[in-house]
Structure 1
Amino acid sequence: MKLNKNLELLSSTNKAGIILRPSSPELEEVFDNIKSIFEKNNIEVFLEDNSANMINQKGLSLDELCSKVDFLVSVGGDGTLLSVVRKSFNYNKPVLGINLGTLGFLTDISMDELENFLHDFKNDNYKIDNRMMIKGAINLNTFVAFNDIVISRKSISSMIKIDAKIDNKHFNSYYGDGVIISTPTGSTAYNLSVGGPIVYPLTEAFIITPIAPHSLTQRPLVMPADFEIEFTITDAQGAVVIVDGQDIYEVEENETIKIKISNQNAKMIHRCQRNYFEVLNEKLRWGN
């Protein structure tokens, strides 16, 4: 982690692009409230077209939105923010998460806090976290992941065999339900639920965690992100590759999934007061 990563600020904070949680037409009143608060702080608001159609308003395509605004705003929860980061990744726009539920690992601004936060935001009292992204490739298909890439068995009745290489050298063979390749940001997602480690989100590292391995000697591995990792499916039934729980690819026997760090980070806007360890304490109820 480089200390100067948190010194980055936006050159302009005058135009915001809003993206709402999908399939939630009840958010029309919430959006109107958000728009009013932003405009009160001299920030012009633009709405993404899918969100606009959902609440019967006018909007812009994602391309138009990202070319027009200074930053994006995700309204919903961590899942909504995850989707916004991935869809807007090529535009390199920082994303602010407004959380409509309980405290999130990624979205930390509640509606009650929004007005005070925007006052600080307009006075450059905020921080931008640069979060590592994973770049993956299966044949000609390329993709990026913010949380994780999961290689999983196709059939619930059988286990999967996967050979793994680091920088072209064999290092492991996995036999079980699959493997999770996680970013530090995603370490508190699926990785955590199968016994993987929590890694500080501004670290640049891969976390490789086997899912229900046949051998008890298989353990999670944390490794520097400057390696390239390859996973080859050696099972006749093939496998499925799930990217951030949102995109699914089918992989056949002897096909390879290549994974490396992306040369571009995801940018997250947070309060200066945000403390990751307090979030962990509250979300995971440590000490209770």
Structure 2
Amino acid sequence: MTEIGAVGLVLHPRRDCAQVIGTMVDWARSRDIKLFGVESEVERARGAVSSIGAEDLAGRVDLLVSLGGDGTMLRAMRLGIPDRTPVLGVNLGKLGFLAEIDPPELTDALCAIDEHRFTTEPRSGLRAVTGDKDAIAFNDVALVRVPGNGMTAVRLHVEGHPFVSYSADAVVVATPTGSTAYSFSAGGPIISPRAEGLLITPVAPHSTFNRAVFLSGGEKLALEITGSEVGVEADGQLIGYVGAGTVIDIEVLPAAAQVVRLGRTTFYQRAQRKFGLSGFTSQGEV
């Protein structure tokens, strides 16, 4: 990454970002750096940030800064895919796994990045394809039951062969990043973000086989809908409905996003803090 010439802002749709935007504007002016933001969001910056289309943002900037929670960070990561633009997460809500800093640390963090005192952590994504439709996610793709339509019935095909069938409230296909999200709430394991593969977890299963399955990133996965219509969600956003006989192909997108890390906490320290696990020591404690 060369010296920063432009930074793109990705804002939480509802949280008050004014103070953090002000910090960004002051820092950018002091270093003659341009700020850009998505057209529908920059009006909240009151003219201090230039407007640009979402599809063009990542290609115009050297760094994306997500102001919000993990949901905003996931959106910034998706925007950064074409150019693998590094993404810095600034946490404006509850502690997440992806955000690296809190607002008081922002100026120091930006200076460190501009002076190349940081690393990037690659995060794999996944693409779900059926027919002429596709969706990209960094946490998970979930097939969820439609109220009144019965259970979500899905047959897993691995490497072109049927492997196991699930009947459940939902079937979640997660990346290692997403192993701490929906899959975890359904009893799935925590997977290191350094791993590469697909974690399939049934939610409230009603089938004989009720365990999660982890596939390597190179193994082909297809999901065949064997029951009634189900909803398809990507990173928590409903993208459509599919019926019996539909096959959804899932592929891993290796290192699809680059998350900025400043070496202040590890993934496991963030997990300890998030889940209130014993043994967590906050920064500065002995």
TM over 0.5: yes
Q: Aligned match of 2:242 in 248, 251, 259?
A: 251
Moved more, 243-252 or 124-133: 243-252
Matches within 5 A, 1:142-157: 142-156=134-148
Distance 1:213 1:192 in 2: 14
Q: Deviations over 1:69-107 (max 9, x none)?
A: 111111111111111222342232111111112332001
Distance 1:31 1:266 in 2: 23
Residue matched to 1:103:
95
Matches within 5 A, 1:62-211: 62-156=54-148, 158-211=150-203
Counterpart AA for 1:162: V
Superposed displacement of residue 133, structure 1: 0.7
Counterpart AA for 1:51: E
Superposed displacement of residue 49, structure 1: 1.6
Superposed displacement of residue 54, structure 1: 3.7
Does 1:32 pair with 2:22? yes
Does 1:284 pair with 2:275? yes
**Is the contact made by 1:23 and 1:54 (CA closer than 8 Å) also made in structure 2?**
no
Counterpart AA for 2:176: P
* Over 4 Å off, 4+ runs: none
Does 1:45 pair with 2:35? yes
Superposed displacement of residue 46, structure 1: 2.1
Superposed displacement of residue 61, structure 1: 1.7
- Greater helix share, structure number: 1
Q: CA RMSD in A?
A: 1.9
**Is the contact made by 1:100 and 1:111 (CA closer than 8 Å) also made in structure 2?**
yes
Percent of pairs identical after alignment?
29
In structure 2, the CA distance between the partners of 1:136 and 1:157, relative to structure 1 (3 Å rule), is: closer
Distance 1:155 1:71 in 2: 42
**Is the contact made by 1:38 and 1:118 (CA closer than 8 Å) also made in structure 2?**
no
Classify the secondary structure of the residue corresponding to 2:270: helix
Distance 2:136 2:246 in 1: 19
In structure 2, the CA distance between the partners of 1:42 and 1:111, relative to structure 1 (3 Å rule), is: farther
TM-score normalized with structure 2 length: 0.90
Distance 2:121 2:161 in 1: 33
Distance 2:109 2:168 in 1: 46
Counterpart AA for 1:283: K
Classify the secondary structure of the residue corresponding to 1:115: helix
Distance 1:246 1:216 in 2: 29
Gaps of 5+ in 2: 280-286
Q: Aligned match of 2:261 in 256, 262, 270?
A: 270
In structure 2, the CA distance between the partners of 1:18 and 1:150, relative to structure 1 (3 Å rule), is: same
Residue correspondences, number: 277
